[in-house]
Structure 1
Amino acid sequence: MAEKGRYRELLMIVETCEAATLLQRVSAPNVITIASSQKEQQSLSFKSDPELGLSLIDRFTYQTLAFFESIDIKSMATLADLFGTYSYEFMQSHFSYRMTNATRRPRDVKLTNFWGSVADVRTTTDRGPQDNMYHGDAQLGRYMAAYVEEDGPWDIDCMLLQPDVWSCRF
C-alpha cells in the first residue's frame, strides 16, 4: 500500500494475545500500530455469552470503543488521550504502540484524521452498483451478483461439524 501511495498515514490496531510481537514486523512508512498486549501476555475477554460459550468483546477493544464513542468528528482528541484511558487494572495487560514516522508524537496525532468521510462520488460509467463493491472488477461483480441470486446447494463438509450439536439438514 505504501509503494502504491494508497495512504498518507495508517492506524493499525492489533487485538490478540501477545499482540506487540507483530509491531516490529511493520516497516512501512507512516504507520502507527497499537497492540493490546505485550509478549507473553494474554488479551482477556470482557463479556461472554454463556449460552454461546463465546467472548463478545475483549477488554482492550471495550476500552478503545468506549473512548471512540465518547468523541465526535469535530473532536481534537489525540492518540495520547486514547492511551490515557488504557488501564492495566481493567485490561490485565500492557498496551504498546509504535510509530514508523519518528517526527510525530502521540500528542500530535489527531484521531479523527483516521475516520472515514462521506463524499458525493459521481461516475460516468454504466456499471451497476454491485460492480463497485469489487473495486472496479466488473466481471467479478457480475459473477458474484448472479451467484448470490442462485439457490444452489450449500457446500458444507458435515464431517467437520460436531455431530451432537449440528446436523446436515441443509
Structure 2
Amino acid sequence: MLHKALLLVLAIIQINAAEYDTSILPEAYIDAAQHSTHTNNWAVLVDASRFWFNYRHVANVLSIYRSVKRLGIPDSQIILMIADDMACNARNPRPGQVYNNANQHINVYGDDVEVDYRGYEVTVENFVRLLTGRTQNGTARSKKLLSDAGSNVLIYLTGHGGDGFLKFQDSEEITSQELADGIQQMWEKKRYNELFFMVDTCQAASLYEKFTSPNVLAVASSLVGEDSLSHHVDPSIGVYMIDRYTYYALEFLEKVQPFSKRTIGEFLQVCPKRVCISTVGVRKDLYRRDPQKVPITDFFGAIRPTRVSTDRINVTLADEEDFYTDFDHMPPKKQFKIVIQPQFIAKINK
C-alpha cells in the first residue's frame, strides 16, 4: 500500500522591513522597562469578608479587578476570590450591579466579570494552596495560579483584619506568619519574579512584617494600631460604598494608560494621611529596584516593551518543484522485509 506523506519545506520569503516610529513611546517608560526582567503578569485579588454590611469590601476588590483588566491583564491570569455575591444580594436595589461610588459612575461588577472562587470557596486553605501551587486534584485550570520565575504577581487583600491577621468568612483567620510562609514557598518554587503585596484592612501593615522573601514590595492602608476607614455611605442602600485607601488608589489607576509614565513610587503615595486618615505603610527593603523608576504597568498591566528593527531582511521564495502536490504519484518507497535471526527462532520454539 502506498502511503501518503507530506514534505515540509521551510520557505524564506523576501520582505522589506517597514519603517516604524518609536517616538510615541515615552522615554521614561522605555528606560525603566529595560530594567524589568518579567515576562508575564498575574493578579490574585481577594475579598475575604461576607454579609451585606461589608458591601464596600466587594467594591474594593472589584475596583482593582476592573483596573488590572483594563490595563491588559487577561481574565486567564487574574484569580478573583469574592466571599459574598453583592450583585445578586436580595438587599441590592440594583441587581447585577456593584458601585464604588454613591453617584454610580462606575459599575465595577460590569458585564464580563469572572469570579474564580466565590462564597464558601474563599477559605484560608484554598488561598494558601493557590499561592503555593498545591491545589487539590481536579481543580479547574482557571482556579490555579500558573505563574513562573518570570511572573510579576500582584496580591490584593481586603476585609476585616487586626494585629497580625486577616479574617476569612468571619470564621477563620490567616496570620502574618502564614502569609510570609506562603510567599517564601512561592519564591523557593520559582513562582514569581517580583511580587507586589497590597492590603486594605485595619492594622494592615502587620500583615507584611514577617516577610523575608526577596523581590517583594508591600503597601498597607494602615499601620499597626490604626483602623482603615470607609470613604462614604450610600443612603439608598444603607452601607458604605468603598474604603478610603482603595478609593484613592482607584482614582489614581483610572488616570493610568498602558504606556503611562506613572510609576509604582507615585502609586505608593496616593493616599496621604489628610485624606486616608490612617497612615499608609510601605515596605521596600526586600525590593531590589527603585519604585520611582518602576512603571505602574509592571504590576497592574500586561504591557511588554517591544524592540522594533528597521534592518532590511533578504529572503527568497522556495521553488515550486520543492513541494509535492500530487501525492498519488510520489516516488515509491523502498520495499522492506522482516528478518528473524535464527537465535530468536530457537527461543520461540522452546
Question: 1:102 Cα shift?
Answer: 4.6
Q: 1:65 corresponds to which residue?
A: 250
State whether residues 34 and 97 of structure 1, in contact with CA within 8 Å, keep that contact through their aligned partners in structure 2. yes
Larger Rg: 2
Alpha-carbon distance in structure 2 between the residues aligned to 1:12 and 1:69? 20
Indicate the residue corresponding to 1:80 in structure 2: 265
Q: Percent identity?
A: 36
Report the TM-score, using the length of structure 1 for normalisation.
0.62
Alignment partners' CA distance in 2, 1:5 and 1:45 = 37
1:110, 1:68 → 2: CA distance? 12
Give 1:13-162 correspondences, 5 Å limit.
13-117=198-302
**Which blocks of at least 5 consecutive residues in structure 2 are unaligned?**
1-185, 304-350
Q: Note the alpha carbon deviations across 1:134-154, whole angstroms, 9 max, x for none.
A: xxxxxxxxxxxxxxxxxxxxx
Question: Contact conserved, 1:19 with 1:39, CA < 8 A, in 2?
Answer: yes
Displacement of 1:47 in angstroms is: 2.1
Partners in 2 of 1:80 and 1:43 — Cα distance? Answer: 21
**Residue equivalent to 1:4:** 189
CA distance in 1, matches of 2:243, 2:293: 28
Q: Shift of the alpha carbon at 1:86? A: 2.0
What's the Cα RMSD here?
A: 2.1
Q: How many Å separate the matches in 2 of 1:66 and 1:56?
A: 14
Cα distance change on mapping 1:107 and 1:116 into 2, 3 Å: closer
Which runs of 5 or more structure 1 residues have no equivalent in the other structure? 119-170
CA distance in 1, matches of 2:301, 2:263: 16
* TM superposition shift of 1:116: 4.1
| Residues 98/85 of structure 1: CA separation in 2 closer, same or farther (3 Å cut) | same
Q: CA deviation at 1:83?
A: 2.9
* More moved, 12-21 vs 85-94: 85-94
Question: Using a 3 Å threshold, how does the CA distance of structure 1 residues 25 and 55 change in structure 2: closer, same or farther?
Answer: farther
- Per the TM alignment, residue 50 of structure 1 is displaced from its structure 2 partner at its CA by 3.4
Structure 1 distance, partners of 2:203, 2:295, is: 27
Q: What letter is aligned with 2:241? A: L
TM value normalised by structure 2: 0.32
